[in-house]
Structure 1
Amino acid sequence: MNVKSTWLYRMVMMIVIVAVVIGPMNIAGAAGSRTDRVDRPWMNTSLSAEKRTALLLQEMTLEEKIDLVTGKVNNYYGFYNNPIERLGIPALTMADGPAGVRIANPDVQDKQSTALPAPIALAATWDTEAAKQYGDLLGDEAYNTTHNVVLGPGMDIARIPWGSRNFESMGEDPLLQSQMATAYVKGIQSHPVLATAKHYLMNNQETERFTTNVKVSDRALHEIYIRPFQEAIAKADLGGAMCSFNKVNGEPACENKTLLTDLLKKEMQFKGFVMSDYGANLSTAESANSGLDLETPGTPYGKWGDQLLAAVKNGKVSEKTIDDKARRILVQMFSKGLFDHPVQNNQIDVRDHGKKARQLAEESMVLLQNKNNALPLSKDKLKSIAVIGPDADNGTVAGGGSSLVNPTYTVSPLEAIRNRAGKGVTVQYAPGTDPISAGDIMPGPSAVPSSLLTTSDKKENISAGYATYGDVEQGLRGEYWSNNKMEGNPILVRNDGQVNMNLGFYNYQGLNAKSPKIPNTPTTLNGLISARWTGAIAAPKDGDYALSLTSLGSSKLYLDDKLFVDNQGAKLSTTKKNISLKAGEKHKIRIEYRADYQVNGRDSGGMVRLGWEPPADASDKLIDNAVKLAKKSDVAIIVTRTYDSEGYVERSDMELPNNQDRLIRAVAAANPKTIVVQMSGRAVQMDTWQDKVPAIVQAWFAGQEQGNAVARVLFGDVNPSGKLPVTFPVNEQSTPVSSPERFPGVNGIGDYSDGIFVGYRGYEKSGIQPAFAFGHGLSYTTFGYSDLKVKQHASGKKSTRTSTVEVSLKLKNTGKAAGAEVVQVYSGKLPTNVETPSRQLAGWSKIELKPGQEKKVRIELDPKALSYWDEKSKAWVMPSGEVPIYAGSSSQDIRLTGSVTIPAASKGKAAR
């Protein structure tokens, strides 16, 4: 062998040895350099995530592990943990969700991202492919805006129809939410980004969410509340879960060993990590030993860090426990690609992502009512359209709180309707009511309209938040102090159109809904605050009125310098008093407010509203102007909205806020062709006006392309196919959770004695007729159902037990327009003495058909819809016998019925 060949042989052998011992070079970037292969063997991408984690843990000090599991607060990322540069561990850079990527860093794309339709709107599509696309877009934008963790999806069951955070949920049914959330998680994690399911567990209301103790049965947990988490773990390899503030069966969720360790990690075999909601961890050793893996604190809430290190050193927490936490985090970071694919700051595709947002919004819209085919509108038959609504000209109508996204652009309903109608149609706008704000999330009567209030007979040189009429400044003169005693000079003086204030959390970091009609309030007034409003009030007509104050903190209303209403405000509540007033007669008015009570140990931050309950036919200038416009228009389109947000409270009623229900009744009386487009994340009360309008469209919070989506549905460019993922009750008294014990709870205890009868299950059990049923949604075409068949598939050659049940039927488009129908299959009462629902969703399929087209639809039923959770055996049980099967267009619109007979199980067999 010559020298050259010997040299070549040695080089080949050296490469082989290196390849065997160290592994191939990681070509993903600097993390896979030759130095890393030797000095950082955990960067070897040919090894499993578990092996890489084991190698890394061997090199970590206890202090570094503690640092890894202790989150920080960062101005750019919010939730955050430090990178450990010595070991090449990247930071977890977290972005709020779940309706878009909430960018906090002003240096990243001007903090703008695509504002998607709210998750409740996504659920209304009943389309898992749409859910995957939604998650894919989120994952893409998160990664390309420097984030590797998305704090979403929300998997809280929408138990309360008017819940302030329902817009973040994917509905009231565990099967629907499970399948939609699983697809959403898969979409996010198709990128080097972790999804974080929230809130684990029982965070089903905002009222007293920090302190409420949820009493819930083991059966309800398994059949309703953990199902979405369980499915995402089993079918989408969920990376993270966020524990909630509330207590569950007496223990805080973030230190609840039964929930975190026994149920989540052992029974559900969750391999990811559990992080706390912001400030939700209340302890050190207790939470660490119960199964919390990552604390995301914030001053003054942090309980880990140095305190956790001390707990390990004094033996209260073992280092093995810390290792398990670090291992869980690192395995997910390795398996999801966070080490090998560092986050980027690449410009997102605004045009393409906006188009996808519009398509999702279009598919989500639910046609609730359409008498005499009032919709779609025909441009050829219209000469004039009145667009009415306080935010019809606003393209940023969205849920507040951590879900609020700074959109790349917006399109308002008014703008889109004008564009779609074209030059041949006159489109005019009237607001109809004062703008909707965070104040409207509070319960109690609507705020007194600004047009009935005046500061003086002459304009004053102060900042104006509302319009003026003639020479009179509308609204009241507001003075604000940053103490709760009105001491010293006020730090802010301005004109406020209404007294309808809700600051604190709702005024932090732009969380209040963006609107040029809402004046900005300095964040220095978010804690200790007192305020005084002065001016005059005049009734619009003779009659008996009730004037009220809704507040947390003391509030007083003086009328003609005499104390008229005194609200102590120890809890958020309303105090009102009746008075007879004459039209146009001015009365001097003064409101004094002090934030002298706290919420969860924190200053209440300013919550007060001057409300009214006028005679039924009373109106104000804003409504009168809208009526005048409606009378002279061919069609009136009223765009209503609610203000929904996480925070401290939700309304205790379902009424549209800020006099919008009065607006609808007045406009509908003036123009019989009145269309209502409802933008909300929750159910609203419609019984006072539903029969007065021919058509209602539930448009949800539809994202930045909301205007175009609304216009395309109204004009028939899109045939609506959305179905309600929640039941819409008639009013707040007609629900399965209407008792104070069930909502908001009594003496700090939330009684979940409704058990498994959540949503439509509860309406069926109680015999309560809803306004619109779960699964309801009309179309511009019609569908015929026929030929229902139920087929059983045996689980094995030696067993007669069924493992799957398949329902098939024929679906035909019997109308004149192409459209999509969601075929829903429900199982009936199970053949057992155990109480089970008379109807529960067992499967569905969304089918698009051209006019006259017919397709055979096959739907495999969820085995758990044929089973129940047995608390004694702690297992799913599928009882033998005949089970009714229902197929139709909603939970109440049943078109076909059949049955399936479940054979007796072999000994020890149960549904899984």
Structure 2
Amino acid sequence: MLEKLTVAEKIAMLHQSQPAVPRLGLAAFHTGCEALHGAAWLGRATVFPQAVGLGATWDRALLTAVAEAAATEVRAYRHDPPEGTEPASLNVWSPVVNPLRDPRWGRNEEGYSEDPLATAELAIAYCTGLRGRHPDVWRTAPVLKHFLAYNVETGRDVVDVTVPERVLYEYELPVFLEPLRAGVVAGVMPAYNLVNGVPNHVHPLLGRALRAARPGVVICSDAQAPSNLVTSQRYFATHAESHAAALRAGVDSYTDNGPDPAPTIERFTEALARGLITEADIDAAVGRLLALRASTGEFDPARDPYAGTRRDVIACEAHNRLAARAARSAMVLLRNEGGALPLRDASVAVIGPLGGRVLRDWYSGTLPYAVTIEAALRDRLGPDRVTAAEGVDLVRLVAADGRHVHAAPDGSLSLAEGPGAVFAHQDWGTSVQCPSPVHTLRCLDHGYLTAGDDGVLSVTAATPDGWTVRELWRLEHSLRNDASGRYVSASLIADADAPDLGLRLERVADGPAEAAAAARAADRAIVVLGNDPHINGRETVDRDGLALPADQERLLRAVVAANPDTVLVLVSSYPYAIDWAAAHVPAILWTAHAGQEQGNAVADTLLGANNPGGRLPQTWYGAGTELPAPLDHDVIGSGWTYQYHRGTPLFPFGHGLSYTTFGYGPLTVCREDDGWLAAVTVTNTGDVPGDEVVQVYATPHDWPVRAPARRLVAFERVTLEPGETSELRLPIPSWVLSYWHEGRLNGPAGPVTFTVSASESTSKATSKSTSTTTV
């Protein structure tokens, strides 16, 4: 088909939105559909736990099943879209495989693990589900994001990240190369940043590494990144030069200028005319794009086994059950002193801003339903045994002249005499982008206080979840909109340069005091804290530290003082430095935002119907830990991640407790052609069924370079009944113990001590034995 296209038609195909070519029977096509933890941006869909929550399951089979469900729903939106909507693209931009080096990264929720082996293995599992098992036709065509060394949102399009060669080859590259070599990846998306002085969209590693691993891989640009080569990065003088360089480097598809292909067409036409590229360069890119389309059965629908997929599979009962299984599997029990969990016969007070809410993130689909923690506990314990207190202050907004903000039935606002509308006030803390705290104000009778595109205030927002979050406010002598940076004027429009109105908060109810009273009146208090994925830690916004927002920390301490029998449930996209809680709260449970079944999963875990089997996919550092600078990507030299960090973490990588206990037999490791094979038995030595994540670590002894203290080399999640023993055989690939030295990647060398345990820190593996062998 390629030879039948004109040059102009081929150039047009380089843009994300490819036009139809009726004379050849080619339909219009666009790259890009999100499926990070379920089909996203299409409408109603099954919402699974965030990617970091899927990472916490350490369960390859589960990730494959989740991806199969997500891809099936994408197929439904392709073949049977709702009336008036465009069919979905079968080119899905998922998963994100950047290792979670820095827990302050705004997009921490999108990755799987800080460890390259865990990330690569889980990515292969997820891509296997997205690709499907048909030998010829792919269910969807997955694209890995974001190549290369992408862990910073602050100035992400201009930052130049220095990555030592050893870190590049041992830490950054394997997460991309291993899924490519597994044959389950259709494409890779470069990141916005520069690496070692070169923008990723023209980096020689696109060809030298990615295409070497999989010659036909499609390189698909990130949004507006091709133009950034000239505008923000100023790496090239003209767009014709930049686009030509990107094409020669290997970029095939250009996500630029939204759906408008005209600028891209103009730039490539000029580049061809100036001799900056050849028609052969264009043919190579278009050929790969056509092959991607062909792989999904587009050109031969009669042979497409997925073409009959209809919308009745979207959020179907089977997918809902899978969402429940995934949410339960992602629960991580961080602390459980004195058997505080599971909860016994008790009345409970559910306290905190997240107890009665289920939150989406930027890459979520529209929830088909949502079960909150509060609702799930009421369902199980009975409504008379569950009380709730949000624990936030209630306030009114009052101007300097004494008038209050009033809300009309339609959500519009006005200033008038007399008591005004009452708002629930929430402090969400600070970020790199906003060093002063940001706040939300939710009108009890309406929605969130928001500023429209024109700055006009209303209380019509259901939740703060736009790309630009207009529901965030700063308290700087007066109310100031975070999105626009403008103060509220007397006309209740966020359009003032100075705080002339003097709009301030007037407290009418003390949230922590009411929460403490609720805690005292119940047998047990369950405090649910964490983040909103659209605030202070998300795409474009990095965190400036690891602490809980100050108001949440104060709330927790007030509740514990009122009722020491408190359980802390953290629902968050990233780790927190919860040192005080780790010392004073008997039980702590963590989950990522877990989707539609979040409440059921948490309630079942608290009550013992679900034995938590999740394990931390990244290190939780303590408050006193001095983390390297965000742009310091020298994982080895700077002591990032469990492999090279020499301090004592608050909770180590791989940590997670259970309601049962496990014991291990001797570990044996023998050499194989391409690595090793570890063998070990694990037994449930307790009295309830449970899941163990068996983790094999290696410590090299005679490397000529600094070796990691411990490195994960194999893992497996296994379910065991009381007294049951499983004999596990765990392959250890040689690449995981290869090291970079003297300009090349060297195979494993010297004696290596292998340890099997339940976390990277043996001393933290409470009630779980370990076994060690040296080969």
Partner residue, 2:92:
150
1:471 offset after TM fit, Å? 6.9
Which residue of the other structure, out of 74, 85, 88, is the alignment partner of 2:22?
85
- Consecutive unaligned residues of structure 2, counting only runs of 5 or more, are 79-87, 133-137, 228-241, 435-439, 459-469, 764-768
Partner residue, 2:82:
none
- Are 1:875 and 2:745 matched, yes or no? yes
How do 1:59-74 residues align onto structure 2 when only pairs under 5 Å count? 59-72=4-17
Change (3 A) 1:610 1:281: farther
Change (3 A) 1:571 1:145: closer
1:501 offset after TM fit, Å? 11
- Output the CA distance in 1 between the equivalents of 2:503 and 2:700: 49
Partner residue, 1:112:
44
1:830 offset after TM fit, Å? 3.8
- Output the CA distance in 2 between the equivalents of 1:422 and 1:198: 45
- Are 1:128 and 2:65 matched, yes or no? no
- Output the CA distance in 1 between the equivalents of 2:367 and 2:579: 34
Structure 2 counterpart SS, 1:276: coil
Change (3 A) 1:809 1:558: closer
Partner residue, 1:679:
571
1:340 offset after TM fit, Å? 2.8
- Output the CA distance in 1 between the equivalents of 2:199 and 2:223: 14
Change (3 A) 1:670 1:296: same
Which residue of the other structure, out of 648, 651, 654, is the alignment partner of 1:769?
648
- Are 1:429 and 2:388 matched, yes or no? yes
Partner residue, 2:612:
720
- Consecutive unaligned residues of structure 1, counting only runs of 5 or more, are 1-55, 73-80, 105-110, 434-448, 476-494, 507-511, 533-550, 560-564, 573-588, 597-605, 613-617, 796-802, 902-912
Does structure 1 conserve the Cα–Cα contact (< 8 Å) formed by 2:449 and 2:457?
Answer: no
- Are 1:759 and 2:641 matched, yes or no? yes
Does structure 2 conserve the Cα–Cα contact (< 8 Å) formed by 1:386 and 1:630?
Answer: yes
Partner residue, 1:184:
126
- Output the CA distance in 1 between the equivalents of 2:125 and 2:503: 45
Partner residue, 1:783:
662
Partner residue, 1:644:
533
Partner residue, 2:373:
413
How do 1:456-467 residues align onto structure 2 when only pairs under 5 Å count? 460-462=405-407
- Are 1:364 and 2:330 matched, yes or no? yes
Partner residue, 2:35:
97
1:882 offset after TM fit, Å? 1.5
Does structure 2 conserve the Cα–Cα contact (< 8 Å) formed by 1:201 and 1:248?
Answer: yes
- Output the CA distance in 2 between the equivalents of 1:658 and 1:86: 63
Partner residue, 1:336:
296
Q: Which amino acid aligns with 1:100?
A: G
1:411 offset after TM fit, Å? 1.0
1:498 offset after TM fit, Å? 6.5
- Output the CA distance in 2 between the equivalents of 1:207 and 1:125: 30
**Larger CA deviation: 290-299 vs 754-763:** 754-763
Partner residue, 1:323:
283
Partner residue, 1:269:
214
Which residue of the other structure, out of 340, 353, 356, is the alignment partner of 1:393?
356
Q: Which amino acid aligns with 2:592?
A: W
Which residue of the other structure, out of 729, 737, 762, is the alignment partner of 1:893?
762
User: For 1:356-410, what per-residue CA distance to the aligned partner results, in whole angstroms no more than 9, with x for missing partners?
Assistant: 11100100110111111111113xx22x211111121112x133x3x13211111
- Output the CA distance in 2 between the equivalents of 1:591 and 1:770: 48
Structure 2 counterpart SS, 1:773: coil
User: For 1:647-694, what per-residue CA distance to the aligned partner results, in whole angstroms no more than 9, with x for missing partners?
Assistant: 322121112236111111110111111111111110012112222211
User: For 1:820-854, what per-residue CA distance to the aligned partner results, in whole angstroms no more than 9, with x for missing partners?
Assistant: 11111100024122111010001012221111222
1:893 offset after TM fit, Å? 2.1
Structure 1 counterpart SS, 2:666: strand
Change (3 A) 1:136 1:299: closer
User: Looking at CA atoms only, which structure, 1 or 2, has the larger radius of gyration?
Assistant: 1
Structure 2 counterpart SS, 1:833: coil
Which residue of the other structure, out of 515, 523, 535, is the alignment partner of 1:626?
515
- Are 1:234 and 2:234 matched, yes or no? no
1:167 offset after TM fit, Å? 0.9
User: For 1:455-511, what per-residue CA distance to the aligned partner results, in whole angstroms no more than 9, with x for missing partners?
Assistant: 586754335799xxx974477xxxxxxxxxxxxxxxxxxx895797999x99xxxxx
Aligned residues: 699
- Output the CA distance in 1 between the equivalents of 2:197 and 2:496: 30
Change (3 A) 1:332 1:202: same
1:570 offset after TM fit, Å? 15
- Are 1:866 and 2:737 matched, yes or no? yes
- Output the CA distance in 2 between the equivalents of 1:661 and 1:358: 30
Partner residue, 1:214:
161
Change (3 A) 1:474 1:661: farther
- Output the CA distance in 2 between the equivalents of 1:786 and 1:890: 16
Change (3 A) 1:338 1:314: same
- Output the CA distance in 1 between the equivalents of 2:100 and 2:389: 34
Does structure 2 conserve the Cα–Cα contact (< 8 Å) formed by 1:655 and 1:684?
Answer: yes
Partner residue, 2:559:
667
Change (3 A) 1:672 1:70: same
Query: What is the TM-score of this pair, normalised by structure 1?
Result: 0.71
How do 1:343-358 residues align onto structure 2 when only pairs under 5 Å count? 346-347=311-312, 348-358=314-324
1:231 offset after TM fit, Å? 1.3
Calculate percent identity across the aligned residue pairs.
29
Does structure 2 conserve the Cα–Cα contact (< 8 Å) formed by 1:126 and 1:822?
Answer: yes
Does structure 1 conserve the Cα–Cα contact (< 8 Å) formed by 2:396 and 2:404?
Answer: no
Query: What is the TM-score of this pair, normalised by structure 2?
Result: 0.82
User: For 1:683-719, what per-residue CA distance to the aligned partner results, in whole angstroms no more than 9, with x for missing partners?
Assistant: 0121122222111111111011111111111111111
Q: Which amino acid aligns with 2:715?
A: W
Does structure 2 conserve the Cα–Cα contact (< 8 Å) formed by 1:132 and 1:183?
Answer: yes
Partner residue, 1:141:
73
User: For 1:140-176, what per-residue CA distance to the aligned partner results, in whole angstroms no more than 9, with x for missing partners?
Assistant: 0111112212111011111111322111100100000
Partner residue, 1:602:
none
Structure 2 counterpart SS, 1:861: strand
Partner residue, 1:171:
113
- Output the CA distance in 2 between the equivalents of 1:690 and 1:784: 26
How do 1:843-862 residues align onto structure 2 when only pairs under 5 Å count? 843-862=714-733
Partner residue, 2:461:
none
Change (3 A) 1:658 1:100: farther
1:751 offset after TM fit, Å? 5.1
- Output the CA distance in 2 between the equivalents of 1:311 and 1:788: 61
How do 1:503-652 residues align onto structure 2 when only pairs under 5 Å count? 519=448, 521=450, 523-525=452-454, 557-558=476-477, 621-645=510-534, 646-652=538-544
- Structure with higher RCO (Cα < 8 A, 6+ apart): 2
Partner residue, 1:734:
625
Does structure 2 conserve the Cα–Cα contact (< 8 Å) formed by 1:474 and 1:497?
Answer: no
Does structure 1 conserve the Cα–Cα contact (< 8 Å) formed by 2:429 and 2:550?
Answer: no
Does structure 1 conserve the Cα–Cα contact (< 8 Å) formed by 2:328 and 2:610?
Answer: yes
Please report the RMSD computed on the Cα atoms of aligned residues, expressed in angstroms. 3.9
Q: Which amino acid aligns with 2:72?
A: D
Structure 2 counterpart SS, 1:137: helix
Change (3 A) 1:277 1:339: same
Change (3 A) 1:113 1:661: same
Does structure 1 conserve the Cα–Cα contact (< 8 Å) formed by 2:147 and 2:189?
Answer: yes
1:789 offset after TM fit, Å? 2.0
- Output the CA distance in 2 between the equivalents of 1:639 and 1:859: 38
Partner residue, 1:833:
704
Does structure 2 conserve the Cα–Cα contact (< 8 Å) formed by 1:828 and 1:839?
Answer: yes
How do 1:293-304 residues align onto structure 2 when only pairs under 5 Å count? 293-298=252-257, 304=264
1:295 offset after TM fit, Å? 0.2
Q: Which amino acid aligns with 2:255?
A: T
